[in-house]
Each structure stands twice: as C-alpha cells, then as structure tokens.
Copies of this chain bind each other. A is one copy, B any other.
C-alpha cells in the first residue's frame, strides 16, 4: 500500500491522556484511536495487525478440532438467571440495558451460557461428543478503571473456545491439547520465550485454572517462575502447599510482574447441569456434559506484543503480526531516477504478493526514517542513490538495527 494513500497520520507527541506504553505508541503511530477510557477503534494499520493475530489463533484452534461460530452480544437475562450470573451482586461488570419491546438485556461478558443452550439443540448422545466450538467477538465489561490501554478494555476482542466432553478423562485430553495450542500461539506471535503456564485459582470445579502469563513490567499480576520447568504460580495461590503439590522448590522460584495472555478453565458441570445439557451415555443413562473454557484476547495480545517488543524509537512487530512485512522507503523526489527505482521495486514486490507499505511521499529522509521506526515494520528497504548507481538497497531489520546491502533479486527471492 502507498503511504500517500493511507489516511492515518503519525504524531510526534504521545497523547496526554494515555499512561500505558502500548496506547501511547499505538495512538502516536495511528494504529488505534481512543474513543473513551478503555474503548478503542482500530485504524487500518491496527486492524491489519489484529487480523494477523486472529488468524494465528484461528489456525491453532482449527488444528485441535475447533469449529468457529459467532454468538450475539445481546444476552438473555432469563438464561443467565438460571446459572445465577445475572444479579449484579454476583457478577459486577455487566453493561445492562432495556429492550423497547420490554425486558432487560445485557452485553455479553463471556459466553458459557448461550453456547451451552445452543448445544442442547445439537448434543443428545455420547456419539455427539466431544465438541469444541469457538468465536472471535467483542466482549463488554464495565470496568471501573481502564489504564492499561488496549490490554484491559471495556470493549475488547476475545477468542473464547468451549469444550464439551463425556467425562473428566475426555475433558482432560482436550484440556492438555488446548494448552499446547496456546503455547504455539504465543510462540508464533513472538512472546513465547517470556510466557509461562501459570497455576492460578480454579473456582468450584477444579483446584487450579491455568493462566498463560507474559513477563512484563507493565503487568498487573505477580507470578513465581520455575525457569527450568517453564511453569509459574500466580501470587493468589502461592503457598507452600501449592509449591509442594506442583513439585517445585521455593528457592528456585523467581518473582516477576506479568500480564495474563490467556487462560483455561475446567468447568465440570457448572453450566451443563442448570441449563440441562445432558447426553445419553453408552449405558443408556442421562449424564451432564463436562465442559471447559479457553480464552485469549487478540486485542490484549496486540498490547502485550507492543509492551514486550517495542523500544524507545517505537513499535517493533514480529513478521507474523506486522501489518506489512516490508516498509519500502524512497528517498527520491518528483519522479527522479531514485523514485523510478522505488516504484519498480514496489510493483515487483506487490506482484509477488509480498506485503509492503511504500513510503512514496516527498518528505525529508530523517522524518521518513523516524516515522518508519515508529510504525515498526520488520524490515525497512531504503531506496537511495546507491540503488540507482550500484543496484544496492539498504535493508534494515527493525528489531536489531542490523543493516545489510541487498540486490533487487535478493530482496525478491526472500
């Protein structure tokens, strides 16, 4: 895409009303727009980035048998009353509103209830199990504070997968697969090395839930890491008993701040029983379906990638999530030879289906480079006089600052 056509502009100064690094950089670079505290819109570069993260997650969810659907945001009060999660005294972050046709409704905070009800139409026999279904959808949570930019919003995108199994053994099998799939997601988007399976409080149906915590100074959680085993304990369950139960040694554990990048819960029959999701087992008896839920927030992941990989010059995107792999920066003016060489390379890259943002604007080189650093594409290709004279293009790796001279053929072969 030609940068002269991209409608978003960058800003030199961070917005005064943003305290988090991720929102400061993303707003400056024109990736997101703040609508209100904790409410963001995703501009073209931001949406491309988000879509790349979504696609990585989708591929990993499909690989373990997930079937994608999308549920409504508007929620049925009656349904949530049956599981006792409607009352504000039980769940305190609903946005509630009223139908003009009569009756209250709320905006989906999560979707165990509606999906369990949907499944009562489709699951009746043990032959129908297991089933795994997931969606990408905006959740709404009426948070009192929202100071973490896109990492904790009042409206944010969630990938939520729910598993439906015959019994604990069948549930456990998928639960373990989901853990591996989650670790693959974090590795693919570039935060695998600093993300740990972390044991946290489990709720009614299991002793622990599993969180995936990414070490970061911007984190709101405290975790204790066993670096060798690559697992951690959340402070909320950090007791001698937990340490012993997990076979860890207190002396080896290192305290770090971390951000929750995902979580998985064993739900047992917490939802299937009150909502009547039963199946006929092989022995002919009716049994409640055993469920699990598995969450990753793509918007939050985008924030985590910014917090953990950005530097003092701006954003740094891994190839897997970058809106464009290459930032082609022309130092030419008004159709001179440099401009022509840049145009030719842009055409060749585009024809090969390579994603490239092409800075074709007539702007000072220094300004272009500073903006290119802020935008954070993995590789910058500089087209200057050397490209015309010797066919040598400067290729700068954003993450390391490494500079290489490459020919047109070498660039196109990559």
Contacts and interface: CB of A to CB of B under 8 A. Distances in A.
Interface of A: 5-9, 11, 30, 33, 35-37, 39-44, 46-47, 65, 67-76, 92-93, 95-101, 105, 107, 114, 118-119, 121-123, 128, 131, 133, 138, 140, 142-146, 154-155
A99 B41 contact: no
A50 to B, nearest CB: 8
Given A76-B35, A100-B142, A118 B71 contact: no
Given A7-B67, A7-B128, A72 B41 contact: yes
Given A9-B121, A122-B30, A35 B72 contact: yes
Copies of this chain in its oligomeric complex: 2
Contact of A143 (B100, B105, B107): B100
Nearest to A27: B121
Contacts of A11: 121
A9 B122 CA distance: 6
Contacts of A96: 97
A35 B100 contact: no
Given A7-B123, A40-B72, A74-B35, A154 B99 contact: yes
A98 B100 CA distance: 17
Contacts of A97: 95-97, 107
Nearest to A71: B41
A122 to B, nearest CB: 5
B72 A144 contact: no
22 contacts: A11-B121, A30-B122, A35-B72, A35-B74, A35-B75, A39-B72, A41-B70, A41-B72, A42-B69, A42-B70, A44-B67, A44-B133, A46-B69, A47-B68, A47-B69, A47-B70, A73-B138, A73-B140, A74-B140, A95-B97, A95-B98, A101-B143
